Amino acid sequence: MSKSKNGKKNEKAPSAAPAVEQKQQPQADVQKQAEPQGDAALSVAEELKLEQYENAIRQGLGGFMLAGKALKAIQDETLYRAKSDTFENYCRKQWGLSDKYAYRLIEAYTVATHLQSELKNSPIGETRLPINESQVRPLGALEPKQQIKAWQQVLKNCEGKPITADEVQAVVDKMRGNTPKPPTTPGTALKNANTKLVKIGKLVTEALEEDESDLTVPRLKEILEKIQALIGAKK
């Protein structure tokens, strides 16, 4: 402590505590922490692929080939991980598709692609290919070579006539040695029709009980596909 010229003591003011520097966290880092990390992240190339595949699904839900091809690619390349933990949850949340129907679309695409490749130079006169998933579904129970033989037999049986899922199923059953269904009588036909009506009514009731947000266009198309399969109608 020193004295001033006028004799008074000069008191040294206490020094202020050093200010703690508050660094503001960059906004990009805050956003980065909020985003899913690890396996959920996609590269730029993967994001572009996912966008292309999803556009194909939007265009192809009315036809099984485009949708099946895109779903298979998303599953094989695990691109669904950006939006969901499993492929099944991705199909349900993103498209309103049950995992069972999504896998049927993938299998139908695989089988139809095999048929297209093998039958493009077929010696038989007619080379019609499946036009909906229900026509292809029975072929999934056969080995690839048997699928070709079965479809060729279907073409012969349905020459000049529409191809139905029941016709394909009958050929597959015969090849597998399954017992054919007994002839339909008027009584059993009425019983079968009533059973189908009950199932259709259940589908409609379930749809009405769902939240409006869940009734997306893909979900409605899935319900329509199920109803068409019950009544044997073509897409």
Alpha helices in the chain (DSSP H): 27-34, 44-60, 64-76, 87-95, 99-119, 133-136, 144-157, 165-176, 186-209, 217-231
Q: What is the DSSP letter of 125?
A: S
Dump pLDDT digits (tens) for 63-104: 788 899 999 999 999 999 989 999 999 999 999 989 899 999
192: confidence class by pLDDT, cuts 50, 70, 90: confident
Chain center to CA of 1: 83
Contact 147, 118 (CB under 8 A): no
Dump pLDDT digits (tens) for 19-68: 444 444 444 443 334 334 335 788 899 999 999 899 888 876 667 888 99
Closest listed residue to residue 204, CA positions, set 215, 213, 193, 194: 215
Sheet strands (E) in 25-138: none
